[in-house]
Structure 1
């Protein structure tokens, strides 16, 4: 294969052990008649090279906005402020992602950071075969088509599909799981460093969800990937993640190693989220949900965004929004009462990695 597909050499200046993406003070707002709706609120997080970062939270928590921000892919009329920086693994100057031109972004989004969005079937043009999607992508980025299709066949095999059948098929001829696998193969066609996945197992049955997550773990090792997985399903993503970021009301409330967070969560919301995971072995009266609703993006409460649903909230919580405090080592939580949360909200089940 040509240098287009040669595995990039990792730089040896210390950066390779650290961050591939740095998001600093990122906010996303949409102008509406009732005012500006902020759907990402001053979020800062680093994505470490070679990790699987799980981003979890209820629907409407800002997870997808954070994912879109990593590629500066916010749909109009939304606006992104803050800084998104990409560090090339082969060295060279950092890339200020949200300062790239339209053409530079088009190249960046496939060659550096690739994204698999929700609804695999909707991501394909129904009038084109799967193979034609691969060809169009290669041509759009000025890659050699013949050589690129050799890679496409290998990628399709790597996601446990038959290249001859899949490349000639149209999207509607494939099952949901097959379509998702084909989309993952397409996202890896130009050898990106980072794969961002927005609800990769949505609308799939339980067995297929587990199969897709196992596949992602295999691909991470095979293609030296950094993976960001955005999902509402904490129990599934915990099995393959290295770290978890728990989001609520458009900000991160807890961040740390997956083992620490699932075994000893420090934020009341994370503990309630873990307790709300369905358990087929539990009695109906033991099934828990988080009381209350997430805030309207046009009316996020003052102070801690979770205080309207939190059993520990007091005047300090209603007036002051806490920063992420270090709980222990690499584990942090945006809560004034992490010790009290463990005592007040016991975990009802164990989630294993």
Structure 2
């Protein structure tokens, strides 16, 4: 029998006092010869001041598009619709990010919300020293160079690097982990309120991944940051996140406190995603993967986007796409059968927080 729900959005602190970013009905589409490819589909989510929000899902789920939308950084010919609003911590009028001029947006992206993009280890200009990158950024935003470089030295030290060595070094002289730390320091040079990181540990070994995540926790406390981490690695990001947002097929399928998501997820996809996390202690026959593939952005199925892979899907799921509905306090899932999902898809292992 179907679980009965009240059709309402999960509670997500609507007050600007709590939300630093408010994203409402955000969609991103790219015009292609075969038609418009929608790579973010009507996503609404708030980023709460002072939190670490982890955004997780398989490759191609729309995670990076959501991150780019927070800064209105969608590459042409992509178009962003919906509303992205930034609430200044010092008060004053909310900033409608996707209505800013090019110059206003240029300043916003470093001074209010800063981003370390996916593949950023290759984004340093090889002809410039690390210190030159800091100087260029400060000069482009009309900041005092001497004062800014004093902050740069402090930031380099805060990410556990030696300022004298690193600022004089060229990118090729640094290891991958050192470059990632230097990039994080550079992203904080103008003292932003929010740091968005897209796959911050993807190119690093396991020990360096853990080190970078620990570092982000330290910087959050030191600089009063709000951090958004976009990643496919749920098990790692769960250790430092306050809330998790689970995406699939360009939509938000589940959102809630990290403990709820990893211990008692309500959506079948989240449960399958947790069960697919590799476990070196498990036998080979216990290794699980999610059967099927994610939909083509030009051919997303009608109804619930996950129904083609879901063991609980029925005619209702194939016909109607469920809203994000409240299943417990501050925890929502876009599924008609959350109780049945918990019974039908048991969790095979525990993800530590």
Partner of 2:63: 63
Question: CA-atom RMSD, angstroms?
Answer: 0.9
Alignment match, 1:295: 295
Displacement of 1:17 after TM fit? 4.5
Partner of 2:351: 351
1:227 aligns with 2:222: no
Partner of 1:280: 280
Aligned to 1:306: 306
The aligned counterpart of 1:36 is 36
CA contact (8 A) 1:273 1:290 kept: yes
In the TM superposition, what are the counterparts of 1:132-281 in structure 2 within 5 Å? 132-281=132-281
Equivalent position of 1:119 in the other structure? 119
1:16 CA displacement:
6.7
Structure 1's unaligned 5+ residue stretches are 1-13
Deviation of 1:122 after TM superposition, in Å, equals 1.6
| Residues 282-336 of structure 1 deviation map (CA, whole Å, 9 limit, x = unaligned) | 0001000000000000000000000000000000000000001100010000000
Which residue of the partner structure matches residue 7 of structure 1? none
Contact conserved, 1:16 with 1:89, CA < 8 A, in 2?
no
How far does the alpha carbon of each residue in 1:249-289 deviate from its partner, in whole angstroms, 9 at most, with x for none? 00000000000010000000000000000000000010000
User: For 2:79 and 2:329, how far apart are their aligned partners in 1?
Assistant: 34
Distance in 2 of aligned mates of 1:104 and 1:112: 11
Deviation at 1:123, TM superposition (A): 1.6
**Structure 2 unaligned blocks of 5 or more:** 1-13
Show the counterpart of 1:19: 19
Partner of 1:138: helix, strand, or coil? Answer: helix
* Alignment partner, residue 128 of structure 1: 128
Please list the CA deviations of residues 6-59 of structure 1 after superposition, one character each: whole Å capped at 9, or x if unmatched: xxxxxxxx9675100000000000000000000000000000000000000000
Does structure 1 residue 95 correspond to structure 2 residue 112?
no
**CA distance in 2: counterparts of 1:95 and 1:124, whole angstroms:** 30
Count of residue pairs the alignment pairs up: 340
In structure 2, the CA distance between the partners of 1:265 and 1:174, relative to structure 1 (3 Å rule), is same
Secondary structure, counterpart of 1:150 in structure 2:
helix
The residue that corresponds to 1:84 in the other structure is 84
Distance in 1 (alpha carbons) for counterparts of 2:70 and 2:80: 10
**TM-superposed deviation, 1:118:** 1.4
Structure-2 residue corresponding to 1:331: 331
CA distance in structure 1 between the aligned counterparts of 2:37 and 2:122, rounded to whole angstroms:
27
CA distance in 2 between counterparts of 1:254 and 1:80 reads: 22
Q: Which moved more, 1:60-69 or 1:14-23?
A: 14-23
* Structure-2 separation of matches of 1:126 and 1:15: 44
Q: TM-score, normalised by structure 1?
A: 0.95
User: 1:187-240, CA deviations, whole angstroms, 9 ceiling, x for partnerless residues?
Assistant: 000000000000000010000000000000000000000000000000000000
Cα distance between partner residues in 2 of 1:73 and 1:136: 20
8 Å contact from structure 1 (residues 121, 172) kept in 2: no
**Counterpart residue number, 1:49:** 49
d(CA) in 1 for partners of 2:52, 2:124 = 26
CA distance in 1, matches of 2:224, 2:136: 25
Q: Determine the C-alpha separation between the residues in 2 that align with 1:326 and 1:123.
A: 41
| Per-residue CA distance 1:81-119 (angstroms, 9 max, x = gap) | 000000000011000000000000000000000000112
Distance in 2 separating the partners of 1:138 and 1:116: 17
Within 2, Cα distance between the matches of 1:244 and 1:122? 28
Mapped contact 1:244–1:258 kept (Cα < 8 A): yes
TM (norm. structure 2) is 0.95
Distance across 1 between alignment mates of 2:274 and 2:119: 26
Q: Which runs of 4+ in 1 moved over 6 A?
A: none
Deviation at 1:120, TM superposition (A): 2.8
